[in-house]
């Protein structure tokens, strides 16, 4: 597809403020019909703020300044209702957290069907056929009648993608669209994203995945601390970067991580025999066995929707096993098993600021605040963001805070469900290195669920790959 001279999105001197503090900018870019812009940067750099400013959906006391035009229409001066009238028809978005994009009380298929029916205005039968094609292309068979809360993170992401693109809007703003997807589905979603500019649309993608940027091409914009670091053709910037930060992002690829030796002991903390894992009567994993020792790091990989999260919930005692035995070391305290959730916003009280949540944990469990502060510092969390609510920080920042919260109580076993899927490459590497060091120092056994084979190979001393039993 030839890129048009018509700018579908034009952004000039965009800044985002929280009170008097500048969180982003100034930045500017133009995405033409048939064009692609990829935004890369560290966690909390303001990537999602740029998209929210374009949509007019900035949270709370955040405000934007600058000029934003959509297909020649200046939208920054429009009233909220007029701006919202563009959603779904002129531009659409796929937010970072798929559960926020879906109606929690509506089953998956009707959510996609109603967009085809009432936004695209297809006849009922044609809308049904279009919905079936979308579910087929995204390998969503079996998800049609499920509520979003019962789907795996990868499946929820794909349902949200189907709903976001059903209206046929020519501009797609996608925030981390490939996180939580296995290799096959990752490639499929990237191919679907690439169809947007090929069809004459405009694509803006936020990602921490350098491989996604390379595949999509177009232009790339690199952010750090809310400031523009580097900008230009994707292939030029990623092959010959001029900024030190861009070079560091590329060098942080998991295939380049140094290998660290775990401080494994002979002290068994978990024994699993012939475990059968099921959810809502459907068997997901059968005959699973595992012996886990203090200080050991085990990675579990497998296709999206195979039951990795359900397995962790069962090991944590949140779900009863259908069959089999789970035995924990008797020395483990009641808080000895902690879980890091794939969806961090759902793991925090929505209306309580983060400082209050963390201080409650420290107070209830008799932990000195100094330990919490030390963990936050080591994880690169700035103290100022603790005054915000969960929906006022980035997904990556919230994930790092959730890691600090889980480690606060000194667990013997940490069950980590995609703990770095929202993190940029540098923060991802540093966070996994920190987890490895803490596991060695405090003899914590960690079971890591990840879709990233490179992370599994580089970080764990043992890898288990789950395959479908059907």
Taking only the tens place, the pLDDT of each residue in 304-351 is 888 898 999 999 999 999 999 999 998 888 899 999 987 788 889 989
pTM over 0.85: no
Q: Report pLDDT for 3.
A: 56
Q: Report pLDDT for 4.
A: 57
* pLDDT score of 274 more than 90: yes
Give domain 256-465's CATH number out of 1.20.1440.120, 3.30.70.20, 1.10.10.10, 3.40.50.300: 3.40.50.300
Three-state DSSP at 445 gives strand
Q: How far apart are CA 49 and CA 55, in angstroms?
A: 10
Q: How far apart are CA 180 and CA 452, in angstroms?
A: 9
**Percentage with pLDDT > 70 across the chain:** 98
Please give the residue that has the higher pLDDT: either 265 or 364. 364
Angle between helices 124-137 and 108-118 (to 10 degrees): 130
| CA-angle at 237, arms to 233 and 241, nearest 5° | 160
Question: Which pLDDT band holds residue 261 (cuts at 50, 70, 90)?
Answer: confident
Asked if residue 288 lies in contact with residue 297, where contact means CB atoms within 8 angstroms, the answer is: no
Q: Report pLDDT for 215.
A: 94
pLDDT mean over 396-400: 85
CATH 3.40.50.300 intervals, the chain: 7-252, 256-465
Burial pattern 242-255, b for ≥16 Cβ within 10 A else e, equals eeebbeebeebbbe
Residue 441: burial class (beta carbons within 10 Å; 0-12, 13-18, 19+) = exposed
Mean pLDDT is highest, among 155-159, 261-265, 312-316, for 312-316
Q: Which among 256, 258, 314 has a CA at the least distance from the CA of 284?
A: 314
* pLDDT score of 374 more than 80: yes
* pLDDT score of 420 more than 90: no
Q: Report pLDDT for 253.
A: 86
| pLDDT tens, position by position, 73-114 | 999 889 989 998 898 889 999 887 777 788 989 999 999 999
Q: Which among 67, 63, 68 has a CA at the least distance from the CA of 86?
A: 68
Question: Which pLDDT band holds residue 5 (cuts at 50, 70, 90)?
Answer: low
Mean pLDDT is lowest, of 36-40, 58-62, 299-303, for 58-62
* Superfamily, domain 7-252: P-loop containing nucleotide triphosphate hydrolases (3.40.50.300)
Q: Report pLDDT for 470.
A: 55
Question: Which pLDDT band holds residue 44 (cuts at 50, 70, 90)?
Answer: confident
Q: Report pLDDT for 2.
A: 55
Instruction: Quote the mean pLDDT of the chain.
Output: 90
Q: Report pLDDT for 153.
A: 73
């Amino acid at each position: 597809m030839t890129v048009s001279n018509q700018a579908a999105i034009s952004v000039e001197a965009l800044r985002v403020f929280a009170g008097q503090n500048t969180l982003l900018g100034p930045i500017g870019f133009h995405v033409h019909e048939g064009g692609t812009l990829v935004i890369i940067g560290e966690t909390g750099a303001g990537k999602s703020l740029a998209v929210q400013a374009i949509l007019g959906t900035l949270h709370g006391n955040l405000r934007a300044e600058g000029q934003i035009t959509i297909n020649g229409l200046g939208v920054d001066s429009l009233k909220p209702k007029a701006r919202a009238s563009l959603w779904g028809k002129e531009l659409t978005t796929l937010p970072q957290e798929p559960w926020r994009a879906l109606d929690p009380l509506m089953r998956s298929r009707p959510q996609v069907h109603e967009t085809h029916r009432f936004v695209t205005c297809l006849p009922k039968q044609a809308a049904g056929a279009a919905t079936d094609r979308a579910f087929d292309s995204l390998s969503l068979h079996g998800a049609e009648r499920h509520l979003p809360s019962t789907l795996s993170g990868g499946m929820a992401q794909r349902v949200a993608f189907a709903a976001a693109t059903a209206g046929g809007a020519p501009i797609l703003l996608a925030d981390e669209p490939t996180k939580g997807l296995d290799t096959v589905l990752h490639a499929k979603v990237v191919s679907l994203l690439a169809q947007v500019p090929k069809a004459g649309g405009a694509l803006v993608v936020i990602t921490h995945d350098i491989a996604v940027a390379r595949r999509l091409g177009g232009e790339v914009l690199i952010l750090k601390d809310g400031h523009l670091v580097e900008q230009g053709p994707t292939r030029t910037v990623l092959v010959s970067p001029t900024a030190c930060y861009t070079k560091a992002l590329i060098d942080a690829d998991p295939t380049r991580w140094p290998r660290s030796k775990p401080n494994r002991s002979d002290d068994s903390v978990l024994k699993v025999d012939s475990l059968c894992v099921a959810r809502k009567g459907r068997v997901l994993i059968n005959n699973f066995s595992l012996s886990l020792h203090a200080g050991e790091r085990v990675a579990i990989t497998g296709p999206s929707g195979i039951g990795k999260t359900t397995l962790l919930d069962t090991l944590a005692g949140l779900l009863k096993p259908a069959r089999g035995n789970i035995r924990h070391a008797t020395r483990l305290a009641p808080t000895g098993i902690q879980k890091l959730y794939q969806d961090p916003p759902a793991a925090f009280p929505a209306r309580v600021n983060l400082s209050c949540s963390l201080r409650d944990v420290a107070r209830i469990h008799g932990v000195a605040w100094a330990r919490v502060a030390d963990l936050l510092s080591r994880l690169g969390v700035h103290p100022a963001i603790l005054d915000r609510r969960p929906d006022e920080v980035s997904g990556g920042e919230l994930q790092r805070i959730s890691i600090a919260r889980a480690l606060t109580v000194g667990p013997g076993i940490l069950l980590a469900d995609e703990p770095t899927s929202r993190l940029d490459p540098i923060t991802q590497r540093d966070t996994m290195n920190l987890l490895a060091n803490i596991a060695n120092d405090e003899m914590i056994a960690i079971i890591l669920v990840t879709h990233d084979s490179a992370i599994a190979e580089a970080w764990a001393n043992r890898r288990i790959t789950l395959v479908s039993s059907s």
